[in-house]
Chain A
C-alpha cells in the first residue's frame, strides 16, 4: 500500500477500520511506491481473508451499520421507500423521455459499464490501464463482424470474449511489467490497437468502418435502453458479488501489497489475470453495446483521448465505488450532448462529427475535475455519496466522530 493509505493506517487500529468502511480507493497502488508501511496492509489483508462467518463484526462489509446503532421500523420503511424510489426512477426514466434522450441515456449506461470495467482492473486490482480503448474497441468490431455473419447474441458474447482475451494478454504483460511502466505499456498498447488492429481491412473495414445493425427485438431506442440497463445491472451484480468472494478479497489484497498477498498464500498470477479477464469481458460487452448503439463502428470512436476520458471518469467517480462510477460515467457521457445543446448544436449523434470545440470540452473539464479529485478529494464522487450509501445500507446518515481511544477499549472488551 502506498504512503497515502499508510498514513491512514498509522493512526492506529481505527485507521484500517475507517478505510474499509469507506470502500473507496484513492488510486491504484504499485509495487514501486517509494515508502511502504507493511504492518497495516498485512493486518488488512489478514482481516479480509478471514471468513465472514467466524468474525462478522470485524469483516463487516462497506457501508454496514455502525456499532450500537439500531434501526427503528420507521427507519427500515423509509430506507426501503427511498431505495425503491431510486430503482423505479432509473427503470421508468426512459419511458417519458423522447427518443433523442433515450439514446443519450443508453450511451450513459454504456459508459457506466465501461467505467465499471476500468474499476475492476484499476480500482480493485490496482493495475493502471491507459489503453482501455483496445478492449472496448475490439468488442465493438468483433460484435459488428459476428453480427453480420450470425446473430446478435453470438456477436455480444464474442465481443465479451475477445475483450477478455485481449485483456488477458495485457494481464500476462502486467505480471512482469508493473507500476509506472505498466501505465506506459498500456498506453502504447492502446495506440497500437487503435492504429493496427482496428485498421485491418478484412476485420474492421479499414478506415471506412463497419455497419452494426441492432437486432429486431431491440430496434427501438426504448428497448435498447433497457438492454443496456440489463447489462449494467449484470455488471454491477458481478462487481458486487466478486468483492464478496475469496477471489475478490484476494484481488483487493494484491492491490494493497503484492508481496504481502503472496506470503498469505494468494496466487498473485491467477487473481491478477482474473481481474483483467473480468474487466476485459465487461469492456468487450460495453463495446458491443456501443457499436449497436451507434449502429456503426469506426476506429475514430476509439481514440486515445476517449480512453483517457474513461480512466478519468472512473477516477472522478471514485475507484472502488460502484455508485460513484456510474454517476461519474453518466456525467461524462452526457456532457458533450448537454454542452452541444447549450451551444445550439443539434448533434444528437456522436459528438465527434460535430463541432470540434464540443468534443474537447469534456476532456478539458474532465481533466480539471481529475486534478481536483486527485489533489483535494481523493475518494471522488463515491466519497461524497458515502452518507447516502451508509444510510441506505441501514446505518446513520452522519458518521459519529471516530475516537481511536474508545474504539480500542471496545475491542479489548
Chain B
C-alpha cells in the first residue's frame, strides 16, 4: 500500500512532464495536442540510436534527440497547424491525432516493432524509499518536472514572450495589431512544446522500454488527466495534477486490481478520475482563464 503511494508519486512525475507540454500548447493554441507523446518517443529513439547503438556521448545524443523533436514540432506547425489556423479546434485536434498516428507508423517502419532499452542518465542502484524500489532516474524525473514547471510558470507570469503566447490564443487580431507575429508565435509554441515532449520522452524512456508509440499508448491519456486536473492552463497545476493522477492510478491498481481483481484497473481509474473532474470541477484545481 505504502509502496504504491511512493511509486505513484514517481510515475506521476512523467505524467507531469508530458502535462507541462500539453498545458503550453493549450495556453498558446487552445487545442489538445495528441502528438505530444510522439515528440517524446521520437526523441528517445534518436537518443537510443546515437547513444546505445552508436556509442556517442550521452549529452550529444540528448542534444540530437531534442533537436529532432524540435524540428518535428516545427514541421508539424508548418504543414498541419498553420493551414488549420482558422479551422475549428476540434479539426485541429483530429489533425494532431493524425500526426501522432503518422509518427507511430513511421516509427514502426523505421525502428521496427522492437522493445529497446535506453540507459538511464543517472545510473546506480535503486533507492529504497519507504519500502518501494525507486530508480535514480525516477528521482531525476521528479526534479526535472519541478524545475520545468517552475521555470515555465515564471516564463508565463514574468516575461513579455510568455504574455505574447497567451495573447496569441486569446485574441489573435489584437495580438497582431500590437505588432506580434502570429506565425512566429505559433512556431515558438509548437517548437517549444516539442522540446518539452522530447525531454519527457528522454527522461521516461529508461524507466519503460522504447517501442514505437510508447509515450502515446501508456503515458498520454493519464498526462491529459493530469493537465485537466491541474486546470489545463496552470503549470503548478500540471505538477500537482501529475502527482495526483500517478498516486490515484497506483491506488486504483492496488485496490481495484489487486484486491478486487478487476481487469484494466489503471485505465479504469484514469477514466473515472477524468470523468469526475470534468463533471464536478471542470476548471480543475488551479485553472483559470489565461
| Contact A4 B32, CB 8 Å, known A188-B225, A356-B108, A375-B80 | no
- Name the residue of chain B whose CB is nearest to the CB of A371: B98
- B:147-175 near A, CB below 8 Å: none
Interface string of B87-120 (1 = CB under 8 A from A): 1111101110111111011101100010000000
Partner of B91, one of A26, A185, A311, A312: A26
**CB of A300 within 8 A of chain B?**
no
What chain B residues lie within 8 Å of A41 (beta carbons)? none
Interface string of A170-197 (1 = CB under 8 A from B): 0001001101110111011101101110
| Contact A181 B89, CB 8 Å, known A188-B271, A196-B268, A364-B108 | no
Do A361 and B105 have beta carbons less than 8 Å apart? Answer: yes
- Name the residue of chain B whose CB is nearest to the CB of A128: B90
Partner of B88, one of A27, A196, A361, A371: A27
- Name the residue of chain A whose CB is nearest to the CB of B107: A360
Smallest CB separation, B213 vs chain A (Å): 9
Do B86 and A176 have beta carbons less than 8 Å apart? Answer: no
Mark the stretch among A28-36, A97-105, A384-392, A395-403 that contacts chain B.
Answer: A28-36
The complex places the Cα of A26 from the Cα of B83 at a distance, in Å, of 14
What chain A residues lie within 8 Å of B217 (beta carbons)? 304
Do A196 and B98 have beta carbons less than 8 Å apart? Answer: no
Do B282 and A195 have beta carbons less than 8 Å apart? Answer: no
Interface string of B172-196 (1 = CB under 8 A from A): 0000000000000000000000000
Smallest CB separation, A320 vs chain B (Å): 14
| Contact A3 B88, CB 8 Å, known A189-B271, A360-B108 | yes
Smallest CB separation, A67 vs chain B (Å): 31
Partner of B101, one of A3, A32, A366, A374: A366
Do A364 and B109 have beta carbons less than 8 Å apart? Answer: yes
What chain B residues lie within 8 Å of A368 (beta carbons)? 102
**CB of B219 within 8 A of chain A?**
no
**CB of A7 within 8 A of chain B?**
yes
How many A-B pairs have beta carbons closer than 8 Å: the answer is 167
Partner of A192, one of B87, B94, B106, B267: B267
Do B224 and A371 have beta carbons less than 8 Å apart? Answer: no
| Contact A184 B86, CB 8 Å, known A195-B264, A308-B97 | no
**CB of B84 within 8 A of chain A?**
yes
DSSP majority for the A interface? helix
Interface string of A348-378 (1 = CB under 8 A from B): 0000000011001101111110110011100
**CB of B228 within 8 A of chain A?**
yes
| Contact A364 B102, CB 8 Å, known A34-B30, A130-B97, A188-B270 | yes
**CB of A200 within 8 A of chain B?**
yes
- Name the residue of chain A whose CB is nearest to the CB of B170: A34
Partner of A188, one of B31, B83, B221: B221
**CB of B122 within 8 A of chain A?**
no
**CB of B263 within 8 A of chain A?**
yes
Mark the stretch among B49-57, B62-70, B202-210, B272-280 that contacts chain A.
Answer: B272-280
**CB of B290 within 8 A of chain A?**
no
The number of chain B residues with a CB under 8 A from chain A is 48
**CB of B79 within 8 A of chain A?**
yes
**CB of A61 within 8 A of chain B?**
no
The complex places the Cα of A27 from the Cα of B93 at a distance, in Å, of 11
What chain A residues lie within 8 Å of B279 (beta carbons)? 173, 176-177
The complex places the Cα of A34 from the Cα of B275 at a distance, in Å, of 24
Partner of A206, one of B97, B263, B274: B263
**CB of B262 within 8 A of chain A?**
yes
- A:290-315 near B, CB below 8 Å: 304-305, 308, 311-312, 315
Do B84 and A181 have beta carbons less than 8 Å apart? Answer: no
- A:315-338 near B, CB below 8 Å: 315
- Name the residue of chain B whose CB is nearest to the CB of A32: B89
**CB of A2 within 8 A of chain B?**
yes
Do A34 and B89 have beta carbons less than 8 Å apart? Answer: yes
- B:251-277 near A, CB below 8 Å: 262-268, 270-271, 274-275
Smallest CB separation, B36 vs chain A (Å): 12
Interface string of B69-86 (1 = CB under 8 A from A): 000000000011001101
Do A180 and B94 have beta carbons less than 8 Å apart? Answer: no
| Contact A308 B101, CB 8 Å, known A181-B282, A375-B95 | yes
What chain B residues lie within 8 Å of A176 (beta carbons)? 278-279
- A:220-261 near B, CB below 8 Å: none
What chain A residues lie within 8 Å of B32 (beta carbons)? 180, 183-184
Smallest CB separation, B232 vs chain A (Å): 9
Do A200 and B88 have beta carbons less than 8 Å apart? Answer: no
Smallest CB separation, B80 vs chain A (Å): 6
Do A374 and B84 have beta carbons less than 8 Å apart? Answer: yes
- Name the residue of chain A whose CB is nearest to the CB of B90: A30
Find the residue from B94, B262, B268 having the highest chain A CB count within 10 A: B94
Interface string of B23-53 (1 = CB under 8 A from A): 0000000111000000000000000000000
| Contact A367 B102, CB 8 Å, known A192-B267, A199-B264, A360-B109 | yes
Smallest CB separation, A22 vs chain B (Å): 17
- Name the residue of chain B whose CB is nearest to the CB of A183: B93
Smallest CB separation, B252 vs chain A (Å): 11
What chain B residues lie within 8 Å of A194 (beta carbons)? 264, 267
- Name the residue of chain A whose CB is nearest to the CB of B30: A34
What chain A residues lie within 8 Å of B88 (beta carbons)? 2-4, 26-30, 33
What chain A residues lie within 8 Å of B94 (beta carbons)? 27, 128, 183, 311, 315, 370, 374
Find the residue from B106, B113, B262, B268 having the highest chain A CB count within 10 A: B268
Find the residue from A173, A194, A195, A304 having the highest chain B CB count within 10 A: A195
Smallest CB separation, A352 vs chain B (Å): 13
Partner of A191, one of B84, B102, B105, B267: B267
Do A33 and B89 have beta carbons less than 8 Å apart? Answer: yes
What chain A residues lie within 8 Å of B90 (beta carbons)? 2, 27-30, 33, 128, 179-180, 183
Do A364 and B93 have beta carbons less than 8 Å apart? Answer: no
Smallest CB separation, B69 vs chain A (Å): 19
Do B262 and A196 have beta carbons less than 8 Å apart? Answer: yes
Smallest CB separation, B7 vs chain A (Å): 19
Chosen A-B contacts, 15 in total, with CB atoms closer than 8 Å, are A2-B91, A4-B88, A7-B86, A34-B30, A179-B89, A179-B90, A180-B93, A183-B93, A188-B275, A195-B263, A308-B101, A311-B94, A365-B105, A374-B98, A376-B83
